[in-house]
Structure 1
Amino acid sequence: MTVPFSPREELGVTNIPPRPDSWVRHQNVAPDWSALPQQTVIEIVAKGCLEDPERPAIIIDGGPTMTRREFLDRCQRFAGYLSDKVKPGDRVVMMLDNRLEFMIALFGIIANRATMVSIAPTAMQYDAGHIVKDAQPTVAICGSAQKPIIDAVRANVPAMAHVIVVDGEEPDGLKPYEDAGEPFDFLKAACQREDIVTVYYTSGTTGAPKGCMLHHGWWLRVIDIDLRLFRRGWQDRQLCCLPFYYADPAIQLLTSLASRGTMVAMRRFSVSRFWEVVAQYDATEILSIASIPALLMKGEPGPTEKDHRIRLAIHAGLPKELHAEMVERYGFHWHNQYGSTEGGVMSRVPHHMADELIGTGTMGVEPPGVTIRLVDDNDVDVPPGEAGECLIGGPDLYAGYLNRPDVTTEANRGGWYHSGDVARRDERGLLYFVGRKKEIIRRMGENISATEVEGVLRSHPKVIEAAVVPVPDTLRGEEVKAYLQLKPGEQLSPEEVIAFCRQNLAAFKIPRFIEYRETDFERTPSMRVQKQGLIKEKDDLRQGAWDRETGKVQQ
């Protein structure tokens, strides 16, 4: 594995433009690393569990509550089982629903200095197959529902010697493995800060998703920043309503363990049960993404909406038009935040300015230790008010893309991580999201690679060419639209296209809109489909397209 720069290296330490005194800053933030003196993720787990063993570590809605004592014991037992099956640097793919065993397995992998590679439990053979082939794992961990997918793609991975199936009642889905070896003492783990802990596949612009490698330092930095920006204690309970295969739930759990709090996890987000869960489990904080606020606002008002202890909600991409109504309806602040898998927490609305910034749409400003530059296409800084690409600098950013040193070098050119996101600053230094340079469709918080979906569509024997573009959507942010050119004389109904996609793609990647082309697409000099021409072809991209939700062509 080649990494073109040390993950401990501080990107952007040179050529940092001076920050004007008039710009907004976060206030009352403790010094770096004051909230998290631990040196590895496993040290957080071990010390957090041993410090307060009888306090709940995780509460699963409708499922078990696990104390820190039992959680550490199960993690150490599973780590003991894995100890002779993986070696430092080995990769373990995990394809599992929101069950306690996910977190047990995660830390068991990390303690052995192996790397967890995350796969959505809804992935199908095409997208899961790409990850497995690229990551070349030695072990796979999956649910019984996901085992057929793992079995189908296993032929591409000769090194995969073990498939561990999580089955039966929670939290005993790993118990046969936990009981098969000697416990691994986490206090004696030999983890190094530069060990690659996790790999999350992020959607790319010119090919299939690429694996973003995160080391211990990345996780420690994100948790330290979060705890310094918003102090927490034993009385706090963070509500997790996101899939465990994201990084965010593990961040919430580790933040809770480091601050003596508890994570409350839903199996999946539900509008009808959301406030009931908040009240039932005494949650004090919410982390949300994408369409969650819009979906909640569409729900019927109820008495539990304000009968709670919520102190704060943090959201990525808060809809400014709903912001004031949300604060009024639910009785607490929602703080907008900007982040990415590569950069972690990159900006957040300052806590002391929450009232003033309601409804402005700002992403806030960088936390201490992070620098964002806005630049033009030549990496020259743009003045306040003008839009530019976000370049990220700071310590402990991501460790590069798995098997892609060339892409990593390009993304980090000049010592800055080039995010592909476009933003602007106002005269006070507050950041506002403008759009994305990357060809990514963002649907309900999920990053979808247009190239990946196109690859599946082109693989159909009746399709000559395919082009995928985003369609703005007030509820989901963006929807997926596919343009198809069929072979002469062939017929392929939209329903057949959807059925084909369901066999090869996760559900959230399946196009909602389909439009057929009788002639070839307009192309660039390099023979790529000119998608900007498609997007500008009509004011409403839904017009003339078959809509999967209605089963009809929109007029």
Structure 2
Amino acid sequence: MFGDVIDARAAEQPDKTFMWIDEGSWTYRDLKDRVERAALALRRLGLGRGEVVASFGRTSFDALSLLFAASRVGGVYMPVNVQYKGDYLLHQLRDAGATVVLADRELLDRIEPLVGELPALRTVLVADGDVETDRKIGHVRLLSAAELRREGTAEELAALLTTAPTPWNQPACLFYTSGTTGVSKGVLLTQHNLITAAGLFNRNYGITADDIQYSAVPLFHISGAYTSVITVLVGGRTGVLDTRFSVSTCWDRIRELGATVFFGVGAMVLMLWGLPPSPEDRTIPIRLMLTAPIPVDLWRPIEERYGCEILTGYGQSEVVMLTQMIAGEDNIPGSCGRVLDLYELRIVDDEDEDVPVGEPGEIVMRPKQNHVMFEGYVGRPEATLAQMRNLWFHTGDLGKLDESGTLYFIDRKKDAIRRRGENISSFEVEKSVLAHAQVAECAAFAVPSSLGEDEVMIAVVAQAGGTIDVAALADHCVEALPRFARPRYIEVVPALPKSVTGRVQKHELRAIGVGPSTYDTAEPRS
């Protein structure tokens, strides 16, 4: 599995560059060595079979090594969004039962207050500066992340060879959903699933070992770990994984390294499109742009301006890639391609009956093989079964199929918001806003963004007889919420529109949208 692929690549092309992260790089030989060292470290720390290793920090080679090292000693890798704090962070670490966490030093103060509520956590490996001696926060031991880079003894290496890795058909990675209808759920994925999907990704998009793939999507996203790393490894090519996305220098970076494939969220492409046109646009070596969503009317102009082909697909954490466009074919702008050979796909109504071709309905799917989609939600068998009702996985998304079987994504059936490539749980935004003493009720919903996707807007109702200091509420959101989930727009309303059963009618709020009385947190305060 992961280890087998790494061993094969290191034997075939040891000196070929596997990955650039900013100005540093690893060859395939380096990858094998560093994953081996990280696996030894996890073994020294007593990581047990099926136990979770969390990575809570910016993109780094230490984090990259954990992605593959955890499964080498029977564990499960879990990335955590660096913007998480408070209840967001506590829920994910506690729900997963994380036993070891790699954390950037500047994020350590977010973990410290939570230690008492994380009984499974044993060790925190601190990046960005050595921890000279062991110390503890409560029951949790702090060590330097340099432990992941320590060379093993001959005896340790021999012992590692006898350590059984995570089996191909058992969970090796854990990625959390956005929690669009409640708290976020942990999605368990096997190596077989990720490697199989990566092979199809490379084949259908026509990406070869000679390509160089650029991305600035962080590793804590499944798209960062899967698209930016695992597909590169399986394809035996070189990847570039920058720690930050810079609109002004992106094309220079791509020219410098000769990248031929660009992967990023749609907002990144629209920011690049917003740069002044230049005769040098056609000298950019990119031949493929892998991205979504892109406005249909800009699809062909972007391809023409940069001399590339835009390709996209449709997937979720639970099924990494369900549909794909095929490189070189007459793909339809705005579509998501056709279903992969591994799956069956239907569009159904609320009774799970097929809708006519061209009509909208919920996208449902099921696999034709074992272990090519998620293994379930960690600790939530009932939620897993509910999602698989009538033996079909219900995505919660609306789409339609044309006569050729091409899928078109329409909207989210769930109450979800997507901003700058992040899926946001309205439930969790509302929970955080309701912690403010002046707020009695809150509804979070999406409104259009000039960069594509959504902006977050909240409608709030004051406590009886009180008022809401909107500026203070905005400050509260800065403290309580990750940056990507903070509401841009705040509207104080006398009451939320509700159905006769008391359900908030968010479609009415979306229809009203931003108005003259709306507070815009992006505007300078007077």
Q: Same fold (TM over 0.5)?
A: yes
Matched, 1:54 2:15: yes
Matched, 1:351 2:331: no
Q: What amino acid is the match of 2:517?
A: G
Structure 2 match to 1:548: 521
Offset, 1:223: 0.9
Matched, 1:248 2:209: no
Offset, 1:254: 2.4
Matched, 1:383 2:356: yes
Whole-Å Cα distance in 1 between the matches of residues 213 and 40 of structure 2? 29
Offset, 1:425: 1.6
Structure 2 match to 1:167: 128
Offset, 1:187: 6.9
* Structure 1 counterpart of 2:165, from 155, 180, 190: 190
- Deviations along 1:108-139, whole A, 9 cap, x unmatched? 22211211222111212221111112112111
Query: Which TM-score applies when normalising by structure 2?
Result: 0.91
* Structure 1 counterpart of 2:313, from 312, 315, 337: 337
Structure 2 match to 1:117: 78
Matched, 1:369 2:330: no
Structure 2 match to 1:74: 34
* Structure 2 counterpart of 1:179, from 135, 141, 150: 150
Structure 2 match to 1:313: 289
Contact 1:336 1:364 survives alignment (8 Å)? yes
Structure 2 match to 1:126: 87
Whole-Å Cα distance in 2 between the matches of residues 230 and 361 of structure 1? 17
Q: What amino acid is the match of 1:77?
A: R
Q: What amino acid is the match of 1:547?
A: D
- Deviations along 1:33-87, whole A, 9 cap, x unmatched? xxxxxxx2222222222321111111122x2111111221111111101114211
Q: Which runs of 5+ in 2 are unaligned?
A: 131-143
Higher relative contact order (CA 8 A, sep 6+): 1
* Structure 1 counterpart of 2:209, from 231, 234, 237: 234
Q: 1:467 to 1:184 in 2, by over 3 A?
A: farther
* Structure 2 counterpart of 1:220, from 195, 198, 202: 195
Q: What amino acid is the match of 2:421?
A: G
Whole-Å Cα distance in 2 between the matches of residues 260 and 365 of structure 1? 26
Whole-Å Cα distance in 1 between the matches of residues 198 and 269 of structure 2? 24
Whole-Å Cα distance in 1 between the matches of residues 223 and 517 of structure 2? 39
Whole-Å Cα distance in 2 between the matches of residues 438 and 126 of structure 1? 22
* Structure 1 counterpart of 2:67, from 86, 97, 106: 106
Contact 1:91 1:117 survives alignment (8 Å)? yes
Offset, 1:288: 1.8
Structure 2 match to 1:148: 109
Q: 1:304 to 1:268 in 2, by over 3 A?
A: farther
Q: 1:44 to 1:184 in 2, by over 3 A?
A: farther
Offset, 1:368: 1.9
Secondary structure at the aligned position of 1:45 is classed as: helix
* Structure 1 counterpart of 2:384, from 396, 405, 408: 408
Secondary structure at the aligned position of 1:421 is classed as: strand
Offset, 1:305: 2.8
Structure 2 match to 1:87: 48
Whole-Å Cα distance in 2 between the matches of residues 224 and 498 of structure 1? 45
Contact 2:199 2:235 survives alignment (8 Å)? no
Q: What amino acid is the match of 1:378?
A: E
Structure 1 match to 2:485: 509
Matched, 1:531 2:506: yes
Whole-Å Cα distance in 1 between the matches of residues 440 and 147 of structure 2? 50
Structure 2 match to 1:37: none
How many pairs does the alignment contain?
A: 504
Offset, 1:463: 1.4
Contact 1:94 1:142 survives alignment (8 Å)? yes
Contact 2:100 2:122 survives alignment (8 Å)? yes
Offset, 1:270: 1.6
Whole-Å Cα distance in 2 between the matches of residues 153 and 256 of structure 1? 36
Whole-Å Cα distance in 1 between the matches of residues 270 and 115 of structure 2? 40
- Deviations along 1:506-550, whole A, 9 cap, x unmatched? 1000000001123x32333443323233234x2x43442101111
Contact 1:56 1:262 survives alignment (8 Å)? yes
Contact 2:58 2:104 survives alignment (8 Å)? yes
- Deviations along 1:455-510, whole A, 9 cap, x unmatched? 00111122111111111223141111111112234444222222212222110000
Whole-Å Cα distance in 2 between the matches of residues 253 and 75 of structure 1? 14
Question: Which stretches of structure 1, 4 residues or more, deviate above 4 A after TM superposition?
Answer: 180-189
* Structure 2 counterpart of 1:425, from 377, 401, 418: 401
Two-structure CA RMSD over aligned residues (Å): 2.1
Contact 2:468 2:492 survives alignment (8 Å)? no
Matched, 1:392 2:375: no
Q: 1:148 to 1:476 in 2, by over 3 A?
A: farther
Secondary structure at the aligned position of 1:400 is classed as: coil
- Deviations along 1:320-371, whole A, 9 cap, x unmatched? 12101101110010112111111111112222324x63xx311111122222
Offset, 1:101: 1.5
Q: What amino acid is the match of 1:253?
A: V
Which has the higher mean CA deviation after the structures are superposed, 312-321 or 80-89? 312-321
Structure 1 match to 2:497: 522
